[in-house]
Amino acid sequence: MFHMKVIKAKTHKEAGYLAADEFEKVMEKKADCVIGLATGSTPLPFYDELIQREKNRALSFSSVRTVNLDEYVGLEAEDPQSYRYYMQKNLFDHISIKRENILIPNGLEKDKETLCRKYENQIEVWGGIDIQLLGIGHNGHIGFNEPDDFFAVSTHEVKLTEKTRKANQRFFKSPNDVPKSAITVGIGTIMSAKKIVMMAVGGDKAEIIKKAFCGPVTPKIPASILQFHPNVTLICDEAAYMGFY
């Protein structure tokens, strides 16, 4: 492990609180900062905390720009399983963010190549991501960058592994409803973020945390590349932190 700062939180809720502290620091310095966001179960207390802090006037989203990591291919924005829907319900509907300041891949776009190129361009036009939130998959994926023989650099369409489809099955009515592919930012997009905050909670994440941060950097464990990022804060709850023992 190189530059990484590791913080142990007592609970999932506290992990969300501590992650919100990191974002608040960036938002305080730069009202129109660009923040990278993730979906999944891990960030939920983090989003609750951000909503609360804006209500308490500790921070404001009125000039903030957001970039999401990924979206399923083939789901409408209104589909309760889409990441757009997740973001609306868990964060955007409750804060002062402007619609035009939200960047999330359109899973229905037919021309995926143009979509991906425009996505990267928009991030560049906004001046890059100031702070990126990440969760981690059981196989070490970040965004939907799955284990592979190489690190995919920029935003692209990705076929989901059976492991990931299984892990996400719980959210769908039947296993067949789980989309087969997604659009995700690349490892290069993530590594270009000025600061990265990863949250990892639950004993089921301990093993992958150990592999990703105490083992070799390899595209077989995409999150391991974060060992080369100069400004990563990893926030674990007690169970995930056990991976370091």
- Active site (catalytic) residues: 70, 139, 141, 146
**Comparison of 59 and 167: residue with beta carbon closer to ligand F6R:** 167
- Min. distance of Cβ 200 from ligand F6R in angstroms? 8
Nearest-CB residue for ligand F6R: 135
- Inter-residue contact 72 to 82 (CB < 8 Å): yes
Task: Compute the distance between CA of residue 216 and CA of residue 19 in angstroms, rounded to an integer.
Answer: 26
Task: Compute the distance between CA of residue 238 and CA of residue 8 in angstroms, rounded to an integer.
Answer: 6
139, two tokens: 């196989």
Q: Which DSSP letter does residue 161 get?
A: P
Q: Which DSSP letter does residue 14 get?
A: H
Contact call for residue 69 and ligand F6R (CB under 6 A): yes
User: Of 25-33, 123-131, 132-140, 237-245, which segment contacts ligand F6R by CB under 6 A?
Assistant: 132-140
User: Of 9-17, 133-141, 187-195, 233-241, which segment contacts ligand F6R by CB under 6 A?
Assistant: 133-141
Instruction: Residue 75: name the closest of 175, 172, 186, 155 by CA.
Output: 172
Contact call for residue 84 and ligand F6R (CB under 6 A): no
Out of 36, 40, 140, 186, the only residue in the binding site for ligand F6R (CB under 6 A) is 40
**Comparison of 27 and 208: residue with beta carbon closer to ligand F6R:** 208
Contact call for residue 189 and ligand F6R (CB under 6 A): no
Out of 18, 142, 152, 232, the only residue in the binding site for ligand F6R (CB under 6 A) is 142
Task: Compute the distance between CA of residue 12 and CA of residue 45 in angstroms, rounded to an integer.
Answer: 7
- Min. distance of Cβ 7 from ligand F6R in angstroms? 17
**For residue 173, what are the contacts with CB-CB under 8 A and spacing of at least 6?**
none
Contact call for residue 22 and ligand F6R (CB under 6 A): no
2, two tokens: 């190189």
- Give the strand pairing for 181-184 and 70-72: antiparallel
Out of 105, 135, 140, 222, the only residue in the binding site for ligand F6R (CB under 6 A) is 135
Task: Compute the distance between CA of residue 157 and CA of residue 110 in angstroms, rounded to an integer.
Answer: 11
Question: Which residues of the chain form contacts with ligand F6R (CB under 6 A)?
Answer: 38-42, 69-70, 135-137, 141-143
